[in-house]
Amino acid sequence: MAKLIIDTNFLMIPVQFKVDIFEEFRRIMETPFTLYIIDKTIDEISKLKQKSKTKSAASVALLSIRKYNLRIIPTSDPEKDVDSLILEKAKKCDFVATQDIALRVRLKKAGVHIITLRKKSFLALV
């Protein structure tokens, strides 16, 4: 079963762009998969929830984590950011859903499959 790690910014897409990412994952994935987040993702979303601009999207993201039973990957290095931890935890056979351009470049070099939002309306493997 494939591991699909979701970056913080990706969990905000349903509110920001009105795209059901979970339905889109089912549409594009050709193999069975399990959804994951890094433990620090919850901290990032909680901080975003305090800002008026991202409050709604962050609230929906937190609800989605519970609703879709996303598994949490524990980390032990408090100094590393979420992007570095995702890169460290993702293996070549894994998938990472992210909009972060710098992270996508690093993942591509590592041979990790990347899922991104295209034309603000659908997800695609890149």
Tell me what the mean pLDDT of segment 84-99 comes to. 92
Instruction: Give the up-direction half-sphere exposure of residue 121: CA atoms within 13 A in the CB hemisphere.
Output: 1
This prediction has a pTM of 0.94
- In the block, tokens 């890094």 appear at 38
Tell me what the mean pLDDT of segment 27-55 comes to. 94
Query: How many helices (H) and strands (E) are present in the chain, helices listed first?
Result: 7, 6
Domain boundaries, the chain: 2-125
- Does 91 score more than 90 pLDDT? no
CATH architecture of the domain covering 2-125? 3-Layer(aba) Sandwich (3.40)
C-alpha span between 30 and 81 (Å, rounded): 30
3-state secondary structure of 98: coil
Q: What are phi and psi of 91, to 5 degrees?
A: -105, 170
DSSP string, 7-25: -HHHHTHHHHT---HHHHH
